[in-house]
């Protein structure tokens, strides 16, 4: 079985050709700088380039025997809790959700439309970043604002990184030798965007990102948690418009705003050279993680493991040990020798006798999308 996975951003399309039963990639690539100088003019041209690269590497598209095309869609609102076979109605609903994710959903939708036109005989499956978090209970997803207004505009916590957290949760249970339905986890997805999720019995019960990916942890360029009053204050006193504030909180804050670099490797380099702003930035990054770990240990009551994943989580031993420092009373401890190795395989970095295991589990969102798309197509009546 072969699945084509398309992950379309505002200026790039990543693609992978995957056998969902095995992690090996049959082909992969990225078309970048869409709409920029020196790049392809638009998403249609980018998708044609994807097709050309696939044909060059793997032969005619029609002969690939594609079982499905899996599309990553960022925001599914409260309409999509599962991977979904796309028809015109589903496309329309995704379009209606665009205001919730104005930067992310429109490019995904464009790629979806074009790919359906290009490959009309292959089932297209939309896999949503928000879907895994549709199991959140009302106490976790409700904001304490006027009920009617919130309902009318869909103001609530949705959560993101769900595809990654779903994949990592299953892999973590496997590493622990436990049934996923009987495994409680705190999953820390620390990439450019970053989130914490409490998983009880394989289901998301709380997560740090909210209506948008802005809430929660300190990220590469996003503030994470901030008093909304600070934004009203900046509007009134500094004259920042709504668009200015959107840019400030999403693009020029976080590690970038604090230290001048959004990549933690660079922040570490500056901190070691004595830069105090960089030192505070990385301390604050870890402090916010510890804050959420504490909260989610309380939410879960009993956690079997804390799991680190994504670019920072998989590679940065300093962040892992600092963010969990001082939690021994809660059964959480990092073994410094185990923590010092980087591996492409899932591994345990806590001491054997620790109450709560600490794991590093490499994520694989594309494989998860391929598996979910294949699972849906196999289950669907022919
Ligand atoms: P995205 O959210 O873009 O998918 P990734 O999960 O690939 O991001 O993570 C990207 C981030 O991971 C980079 O911005 C960088 O800060 C961090 N990163 C990658 N490799 C390392 C490393 N070896 N040490 C520390 N941080 C790393």
Question: Within a domain: residue 148?
Answer: no
Residues 260 and 352 in one domain: yes
CB distance 264 to ligand 1 below 6 Å: yes
The model's confidence at residue 145, banded by pLDDT at 50, 70 and 90, is very high
List % helix, strand, coil for the chain (3-state, nearest 5).
45, 20, 35
CB distance 312 to ligand 1 below 6 Å: yes
Q: What is the pLDDT of residues 92-133, one digit of tens each?
A: 999 999 999 888 899 999 999 999 998 999 999 999 999 999
Q: Where do runs of H (alpha helix) occur along 81-121? A: 88-96, 105-118
Is beta strand 13-18 parallel, antiparallel or unpaired with respect to 25-31? antiparallel
Can you tell me which atom of ligand 1 is nearest the CA of 310? 6
Question: Within a domain: residue 94?
Answer: yes
Question: Within a domain: residue 139?
Answer: no
Distances from the Cα of 298 to the Cα of 122, 159, 177, 261, 325, angstroms: 46, 19, 24, 33, 17
Mutate to test the pocket of ligand 1, among 74, 311, 342, 361 (most ligand atoms within 8 A of CB): 311
Question: Within a domain: residue 378?
Answer: no
CB distance 12 to ligand 1 below 6 Å: no
Residues 332-345 have a mean pLDDT of 95
The model's confidence at residue 224, banded by pLDDT at 50, 70 and 90, is very high
Catalytic residue set? 129
Residues 8-19 have a mean pLDDT of 91
Question: Within a domain: residue 45?
Answer: yes
Residues 202 and 108 in one domain: no
> Which stretches does DSSP call E strand in the chain?
2-8, 13-18, 25-31, 66-73, 84-85, 124-128, 184-190, 194-200, 203-207, 305-309, 347-348, 357-360
Domain count, the chain: 2
Residues 284 and 352 in one domain: yes
Q: How far is the CA of 263 from the centre of ligand 1 (A)?
A: 7
Full strand arrangement of the beta sheet holding 13-18: 25-31, 13-18, 2-8, 66-73, 124-128, 84-85
Q: What is the pLDDT of residues 290-301, one digit of tens each?
A: 999 999 999 999
Question: Within a domain: residue 37?
Answer: yes
Can you tell me which atom of ligand 1 is nearest the CA of 255? 16
- Residue 112: left if φ>0, alpha if ψ -120 to 50, beta else—which one? alpha
Residues 92 and 184 in one domain: no
Residues 354 and 244 in one domain: yes
Collapsing DSSP states into helix, strand and coil, what is residue 55? helix
Residues 243 and 98 in one domain: no
Residues 198 and 341 in one domain: yes
Question: Within a domain: residue 356?
Answer: yes
Residues 282 and 218 in one domain: yes
Residues 258-285 have a mean pLDDT of 98
Record the pTM.
Answer: 0.96
Is beta strand 66-73 parallel, antiparallel or unpaired with respect to 2-8? parallel
CATH number of the domain at 24, please.
Answer: 3.30.420.40
CB distance 315 to ligand 1 below 6 Å: yes
The model's confidence at residue 382, banded by pLDDT at 50, 70 and 90, is low
Q: Report the chain's mean pLDDT, rounded to a whole number.
A: 95
Residues 89 and 233 in one domain: no
Q: How far is the CA of 316 from the centre of ligand 1 (A)?
A: 9
Residues 113 and 230 in one domain: no
Question: Within a domain: residue 301?
Answer: yes
CB distance 313 to ligand 1 below 6 Å: no
Residues 117 and 190 in one domain: no
Residues 260 and 320 in one domain: yes
Q: Where do runs of H (alpha helix) occur along 127-275? A: 138-141, 147-153, 162-176, 228-238, 242-251, 254-259, 264-272
Structural domain including 94 reads 3-128
Percent of the chain surpassing pLDDT 70: 99
């Amino acid at each position: 079985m072969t699945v084509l996975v398309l992950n379309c951003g505002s200026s790039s399309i990543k693609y992978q050709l995957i056998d969902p039963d095995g992690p090996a990639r049959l082909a992969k690539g990225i078309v970048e700088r869409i709409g920029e100088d020196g790049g392809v003019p638009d998403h249609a041209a980018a998708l044609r380039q994807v097709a050309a690269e696939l044909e060059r590497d793997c032969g005619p598209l029609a002969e690939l025997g594609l079982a499905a095309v899996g599309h990553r869609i960022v925001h599914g609102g409260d309409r999509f809790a599962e991977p979904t076979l796309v028809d015109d109605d589903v496309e329309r609903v995704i379009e209606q959700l665009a205001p919730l994710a104005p930067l992310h959903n429109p490019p995904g939708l464009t790629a979806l439309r074009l790919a359906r036109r290009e490959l009309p005989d292959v089932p297209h499956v939309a896999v949503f970043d928000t879907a895994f978090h549709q199991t959140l209970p009302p106490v976790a997803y409700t904001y304490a604002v006027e009920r009617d207004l919130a309902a009318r505009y869909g103001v609530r916590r949705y959560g993101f990184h769900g595809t990654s957290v779903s994949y990592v949760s299953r892999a973590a249970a496997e590493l622990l030798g436990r049934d996923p339905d009987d495994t409680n986890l705190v999953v820390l997805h620390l990439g450019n965007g970053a989130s914490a999720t409490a998983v009880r019995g394989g289901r998301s019960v709380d997560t740090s990102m909210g209506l948008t990916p802005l809430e929660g942890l300190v990220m590469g360029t996003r503030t994470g948690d901030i008093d909304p009053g600070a934004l009203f204050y900046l509007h009134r006193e500094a004259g920042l418009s709504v668009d200015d504030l959107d840019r400030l909180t999403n693009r020029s804050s976080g590690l970038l705003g604090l230290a001048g670099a959004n990549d933690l490797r660079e922040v570490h380099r500056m901190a070691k050279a004595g830069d105090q702003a960089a030192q505070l930035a990385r301390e604050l990054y870890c402090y916010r993680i510890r804050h959420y770990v504490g909260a989610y240990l309380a939410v879960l009551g009993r956690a079997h493991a804390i799991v680190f994943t994504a670019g920072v989580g998989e590679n940065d031993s300093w962040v892992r040990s600092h963010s969990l420092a001082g939690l021994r009373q809660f059964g959480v401890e990092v073994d410094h020798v185990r923590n010092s190795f980087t591996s492409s395989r899932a591994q345990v970095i806590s001491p054997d006798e620790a109450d709560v295991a600490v794991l590093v589990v490499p994520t694989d969102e594309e494989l998860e999308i391929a598996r979910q798309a294949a699972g849906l197509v196999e289950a669907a009546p022919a």
